[in-house]
Homo-oligomer: A and B are copies of this chain.
Amino acid sequence: MKPLEGIRVLDLTQFVAGPMCTLTLCDLGAEVIKIERAGFGDDTRNETPARGGTSAKFVSCNRGKKSIELNLKDPRQKEIFINLVKISDVVVENYKPGTMKKFGLDYEALRQIKPDIIYAAISGFGQTGPYSGRGALDIAVQAMSGFMSITGEKNGKPVKAGTSIADVVAGLYGAIGVLAALQNRANTGEGQFVDVSMLDAMAASVMVNEIARYNVNGIVPVPQGNRHAISAPFQEFGTKDGSIMVCCPTNAQFKTLMEALGHPEIYEDPRFKEQKDRYQNKDELDAAMQPVFSALTTAEAAAVMAKYSLPFGEINKVDDVAKNEQLIARDMFIDVEDSKAGTFRTVGFPLKMQSMPYQPAFRSPALGEDTHDVMAQLLNMTEEEIAKAFE
């Protein structure tokens, strides 16, 4: 039995942040019913690259869910939504604040219908505060959180992450909020509203150390390229045929590294013996260490560091990652079936939990694929009633 078996989630989300939240709940065993705009669906369905009219992104973020089409502006279909709320535990949405109120379906309305409903809303800036009404998407929040200002080449301009990190972090906090609210409901019998702001989420996690550091030393950090902000060696070194990331936060690791590479004299050098000294003298340290790596291929350097269990990383491209032996050994790649678009290979749930033998969701729903079955099976509607509601 998966942890969330028996929990039903109505998923009004689209794009990435909301779907990542409900994907997590789905992987943990919840029944997730994605409610999509009639005739159109989640905007990400139409992105590229796609196969058979379904995008890779939609499948990645929505596998395992059911899809029903509802027009919440149609009174009959709105009533269907309300009937679904009555038999559900959780509602998740990531509309701009105020949207659900326009439909008459905000938390205050839904708790009249289902008093212990858990309602999570994920938005750019949260339900309160001066920016609440502003639209937001991932890169806007990356910019506003300060993340871009510390990312980029040394002496270069601010650069965004190449992917939606603010969406992902907010989505994971959304899942945490729903899990905590379920725990609270078990304790107290009460539901609640969970307000997740992407900007809050970035500030409290990805940016928390940078903000706290600035508050201590008043120094505004800038992009450092591929070097750690406060530790050395903790950076990229060029090799004979490429480059490699090397991380030595402790004295013991640094000693092991230099001995393993056959250069104990670099560790013995008084300029480099203590962690603080190494960062202080990082340019001299680079000058001493770079020739050691320049004499090795990436594979040779990796082999030495792996032998001594030192922390390092090859700079993989996405094709390397898609065939990475460690991810394969961990069963992280799964094949998802879309009844209209065929098979998509994507990445499964990352938590390996004993009591939850890994069972990836192998299906991605076509738009509205489950509308009929949900109406008939969960709401016990007759064929005539279904036809009438959707005529």
Q: Which of B3, B229, B326, B349 contacts A183 (CB 8 A)?
A: B3
Instruction: Look across to chain B and name the residue whose beta carbon is closest to the beta carbon of A195.
Output: B352
Is A149 close to B, CB under 8 A? Answer: yes
- Interfacial chain B residues near A326, Cβ < 8 Å: 125-126, 129-131, 199
Q: Report whether A352 and B139 are in contact in the complex, using a CB–CB cutoff of 8 Å.
A: no
Q: Which of B43, B188, B211, B317 contacts A1 (CB 8 A)?
A: B188
Q: How far is the CA of A327 from the CA of B151 in the complex (A)?
A: 21
Q: Which of B24, B199, B354 contacts A193 (CB 8 A)?
A: B354
- 15 A-B Cβ contacts within 8 A? A1-B184, A130-B329, A133-B309, A136-B311, A143-B313, A148-B245, A149-B318, A158-B226, A159-B226, A168-B206, A180-B353, A200-B350, A203-B350, A208-B347, A212-B345
How many residues of chain A get a CB closer than 8 Å to chain B's CBs?
Answer: 161
Which parts of A136-154 form the interface with B (CB within 8 Å)? 136-153
Instruction: Pick the most buried of A210, A217, A309: most chain B CB atoms within 10 A of its CB.
Output: A210
Q: How far is the CA of A353 from the CA of B357 in the complex (A)?
A: 31
Q: Is the interface of A mostly helix, strand, loop or mixed?
A: mixed
Q: How far is the CA of A188 from the CA of B212 in the complex (A)?
A: 41
Q: Which of B60, B139, B183 contacts A234 (CB 8 A)?
A: B139
Is A262 close to B, CB under 8 A? Answer: no
- Interfacial chain B residues near A245, Cβ < 8 Å: 139-140, 142-143, 148, 160
Instruction: Pick the most buried of A24, A196, A204, A324: most chain B CB atoms within 10 A of its CB.
Output: A204
Q: Report whether A318 and B151 are in contact in the complex, using a CB–CB cutoff of 8 Å.
A: no
Instruction: Pick the most buried of A150, A179, A310, A320: most chain B CB atoms within 10 A of its CB.
Output: A179
Q: Report whether A351 and B151 are in contact in the complex, using a CB–CB cutoff of 8 Å.
A: no
Is A376 close to B, CB under 8 A? Answer: no
Which parts of A40-96 form the interface with B (CB within 8 Å)? 43, 46-51, 56-57, 59-61, 96
User: A137: shortest Cβ distance to chain B, in Å?
Assistant: 4
Interface string of A215-233 (1 = CB under 8 A from B): 1110111011110111100
Q: How far is the CA of A3 from the CA of B177 in the complex (A)?
A: 10
Instruction: Look across to chain B and name the residue whose beta carbon is closest to the beta carbon of A335.
Output: B215
Is A293 close to B, CB under 8 A? Answer: no
Q: How far is the CA of A354 from the CA of B220 in the complex (A)?
A: 35
Q: Report whether A1 and B187 are in contact in the complex, using a CB–CB cutoff of 8 Å.
A: yes
Q: Which of B160, B244, B345, B351 contacts A196 (CB 8 A)?
A: B351
Q: How far is the CA of A182 from the CA of B208 in the complex (A)?
A: 27
Q: How far is the CA of A161 from the CA of B165 in the complex (A)?
A: 10
User: A131: shortest Cβ distance to chain B, in Å?
Assistant: 4
Is A112 close to B, CB under 8 A? Answer: no
Q: Report whether B192 and A354 are in contact in the complex, using a CB–CB cutoff of 8 Å.
A: yes
Instruction: Look across to chain B and name the residue whose beta carbon is closest to the beta carbon of A139.
Output: B245
Known contacts A159-B159, A172-B172, A128 near B330 by CB under 8 Å: yes
User: A81: shortest Cβ distance to chain B, in Å?
Assistant: 22
- Interfacial chain B residues near A205, Cβ < 8 Å: 20, 168, 171-172, 350
Q: How far is the CA of A332 from the CA of B212 in the complex (A)?
A: 12
- Interfacial chain B residues near A138, Cβ < 8 Å: 247
Q: Which of B203, B220, B311, B355 contacts A124 (CB 8 A)?
A: B311
Interface string of A29-46 (1 = CB under 8 A from B): 000000000000001001
Q: Report whether B317 and A220 are in contact in the complex, using a CB–CB cutoff of 8 Å.
A: yes
- Interfacial chain B residues near A176, Cβ < 8 Å: 24, 28, 172, 175-176, 179, 351
Q: Report whether A347 and B226 are in contact in the complex, using a CB–CB cutoff of 8 Å.
A: no
Q: Which of B192, B196, B249, B329 contacts A129 (CB 8 A)?
A: B329
Q: Report whether A212 and B309 are in contact in the complex, using a CB–CB cutoff of 8 Å.
A: no
